[in-house]
């Protein structure tokens, strides 16, 4: 019997299929055990850590305006747990990462959804609708995701600033977990935290840098977040190895630029391929995943077919996105493999229908 186990391809959680830069692996050859056995002493230089210091330099902001966390997930949870108490209102995009609602529920916050709507070839934020709801509800916290998961759309920086000029009295979290795939320019970060003291901009090393396993995210904060800084402060520092790996990634921009260019070109081609298939519709994206609407009749059978072939994509099951797949952009080979599997499935289904 052939005991060789076929590798499962996971295209369901938007992890990088290219992996991190080579320099990140070099860090793992630890030649000084003190990096493992001792806490860092970065605080003696008046900073939280080597990584927060590096990020502050890269973005041209004071180090005190940066906090690290155990991934974007951790920072989102910390922020919501810090600011939301039972009965406080929290605005969340209608289609968004399920986790936002979960952390609001953990604190018994009152969730107010605001609209992301389907357009011709992409989803978009209904800015007027959002601002009307803000004025009416006066929430304590507003969550914005750009690019948004799972719809893939983003708010352009000018629109974002226009929105922030109107939302002065709430904490605003902007989740930019996926931003680097279509945006090389970080200059808005400094402007935004200078102009908007209420803002928290969350980023992660998990997606673009291919480092989901090291669990590092960070947040750039406007000046109104002394309470959150205290809430989040870690006296004994952070994971030194993870920090060094993250710094190695920041030093490897050539590798990531090349990956980005490849992925953007592949994504455009992929969307075209899906849109040529009858009954399928793929939406424009600014992230490393695409949302694809499929004929509802094939959903269960397609899921079974792909799973049996060790191909895992995300079959959405939420209101309004019930007939949709969210597919992580993989390598060219993986993208082709998935597309061919779906085509084979369709051919098989049509043939069966003709026979029976
Ligand atoms: C929109 C969004 N924000 C944040 C995260 C958190 O990622 P991490 O905790 O790995 O930084 C994810 C992960 O899938 C995500 O989809």
Nearest Cα neighbor of 266 from 249, 277, 282, 251 is 282
Average pLDDT rounded to a whole number, residues 265-288: 96
- Residue 242 sits in the same domain as residue 121: yes
The pick from 67, 69, 73 for probing ligand 1's pocket by mutation, whose C-beta has the most ligand atoms within 8 angstroms, reads 73
Q: How far is the CA of 321 from the centre of ligand 1 (A)?
A: 19
User: Which residue's CA is the nearest one to ligand 1's atom 2?
Assistant: 177
**What is the pairing mode between strands 141-145 and 89-93?**
parallel
87 has pLDDT over 90: yes
Specify the pLDDT at position 73. 97
| Count of domains forming the chain | 2
User: pLDDT digits over 205-241, tens only?
Assistant: 999 999 999 999 999 999 999 999 999 988 888 999 9
Q: How far is the CA of 177 from the centre of ligand 1 (A)?
A: 6
159-192 per-residue burial string, b: 16 or more CB within 10 A, e: under 16: ebeebbeebeebbbbbbbbbbbbbbeeeebbeeb
76 has pLDDT over 60: yes
- Residue 344 sits in the same domain as residue 234: no
Domain that holds residue 198: 22-250
Reported confidence tier of residue 34, pLDDT bands at 50, 70, 90: confident
Residues 6+ apart with CB under 8 A from 207: 14, 15, 16, 177, 178, 180, 181, 287, 288
Average pLDDT rounded to a whole number, residues 22-44: 90
Query: Domain ends where: 227, 250, 273?
Result: 250
Residue 56, CB-side half-sphere exposure with 13 Å CA sphere: 17
The pick from 13, 70, 71, 326 for probing ligand 1's pocket by mutation, whose C-beta has the most ligand atoms within 8 angstroms, reads 71
1 has pLDDT over 50: no
Residue 146 in any domain: the answer is yes
User: pLDDT digits over 186-209, tens only?
Assistant: 999 999 999 999 999 999 999 999
Residue 47 in any domain: the answer is yes
Give the CATH number, domain containing residue 196. 3.40.640.10
φ, ψ dihedrals at 339, nearest 5°: -60, -45
162 has pLDDT over 60: yes
Specify the pLDDT at position 35. 83
25 has pLDDT over 70: yes
User: pLDDT digits over 91-121, tens only?
Assistant: 999 999 999 999 999 999 999 999 999 999 9
Residue 3 in any domain: the answer is no
- Residue 124 sits in the same domain as residue 167: yes
153 has pLDDT over 80: yes
pTM recorded for the entire structure: 0.95
Please work out whether the CB of residue 244 comes within 6 Å of at least one atom of ligand 1. no
Residue 2 in any domain: the answer is no
Give the CATH number, domain containing residue 334. 3.90.1150.10
- Residue 191 sits in the same domain as residue 226: yes
- Residue 14 sits in the same domain as residue 39: no
Residue 201 in any domain: the answer is yes
300 has pLDDT over 50: yes
Please work out whether the CB of residue 147 comes within 6 Å of at least one atom of ligand 1. no
E-state strands within the chain: 9-11, 66-69, 89-93, 110-114, 116-118, 123-125, 141-145, 171-175, 199-204, 217-221, 281-282, 289-293, 311-315, 324-328
- Residue 179 sits in the same domain as residue 69: yes
Residue 4 in any domain: the answer is no
Query: Domain ends where: 250, 277, 296?
Result: 250
The minimum-distance atom of ligand 1 relative to the CA of 149 is 1
Query: Domain ends where: 193, 216, 250?
Result: 250
- Residue 280 sits in the same domain as residue 340: yes
User: pLDDT digits over 318-350, tens only?
Assistant: 888 999 999 999 999 999 999 999 999 998 887
Q: Are 263 and 329 in contact (CB under 8 A)?
A: yes
- Residue 168 sits in the same domain as residue 294: no
Average pLDDT rounded to a whole number, residues 42-46: 90
Residue 57 in any domain: the answer is yes
Higher pLDDT among residues 254 and 351, named by residue: 254
- Residue 148 sits in the same domain as residue 159: yes
- Residue 183 sits in the same domain as residue 286: no
How much of the chain, in percent, has pLDDT values that exceed 70? Answer: 97
Residue 244 in any domain: the answer is yes
- Residue 342 sits in the same domain as residue 237: no
Cα dihedral 283, 216, 229, 112 sign: positive
Higher pLDDT among residues 6 and 219, named by residue: 219
Average pLDDT rounded to a whole number, residues 267-296: 96
Q: How far is the CA of 40 from the centre of ligand 1 (A)?
A: 27
Whole-number average pLDDT of the chain: 94
- Residue 278 sits in the same domain as residue 136: no
């Amino acid at each position: 019997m052939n005991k060789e186990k076929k590798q499962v391809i996971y295209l369901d959680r938007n992890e990088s299929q290219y992996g991190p830069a080579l320099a990140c692996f070099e860090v793992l050859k630890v030649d000084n055990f003190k990096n493992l056995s001792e806490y860092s002493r970065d605080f003696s230089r008046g900073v939280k850590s080597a990584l927060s210091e590096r990020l502050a330099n890269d973005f041209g902001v004071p180090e005190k305006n940066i906090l690290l966390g155990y991934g974007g997930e951790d920072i989102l949870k910390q922020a919501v747990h810090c600011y939301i108490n039972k009965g406080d209102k929290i605005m969340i995009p209608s289609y968004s990462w399920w986790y936002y609602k979960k952390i609001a529920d953990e604190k018994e916050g009152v969730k107010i959804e605001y609209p992301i709507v389907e357009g011709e070839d992409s989803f978009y934020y209904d800015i007027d609708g959002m601002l009307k709801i803000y004025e009416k509800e006066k929430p304590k916290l507003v969550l914005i995701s750009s690019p948004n998961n799972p719809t893939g759309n983003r708010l352009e920086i000018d629109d974002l600033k226009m929105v922030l000029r109107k939302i002065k009295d709430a904490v605003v979290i902007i989740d930019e977990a996926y931003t680097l795939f279509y945006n090389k320019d970080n200059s808005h970060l400094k402007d935004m935290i200078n102009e908007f003291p209420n803002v928290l901009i969350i980023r992660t090393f998990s997606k673009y840098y291919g480092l989901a396993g090291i669990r590092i995210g960070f947040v750039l904060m406007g000046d109104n977040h002394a309470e959150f800084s205290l809430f989040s402060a870690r006296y004994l520092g952070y994971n030194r190895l993870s920090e060094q790996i993250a710094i190695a990634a920041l030093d490897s921009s050539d590798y990531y630029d090349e990956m980005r260019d490849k992925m953007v070109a592949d994504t455009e081609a992929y969307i075209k391929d899906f849109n040529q298939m009858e009954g399928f519709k793929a939406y424009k994206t600014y992230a490393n995943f695409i949302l694809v609407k499929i004929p509802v009749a094939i959903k269960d059978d397609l899921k079974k077919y792909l799973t049996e072939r060790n191909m895992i994509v995300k079959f959405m099951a939420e209101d309004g996105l019930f007939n949709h797949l969210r597919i992580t952009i993989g390598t060219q080979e993986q993208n082709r493999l998935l597309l061919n599997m779906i085509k084979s499935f369709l051919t098989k289904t049509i043939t069966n229908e003709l026979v029976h």
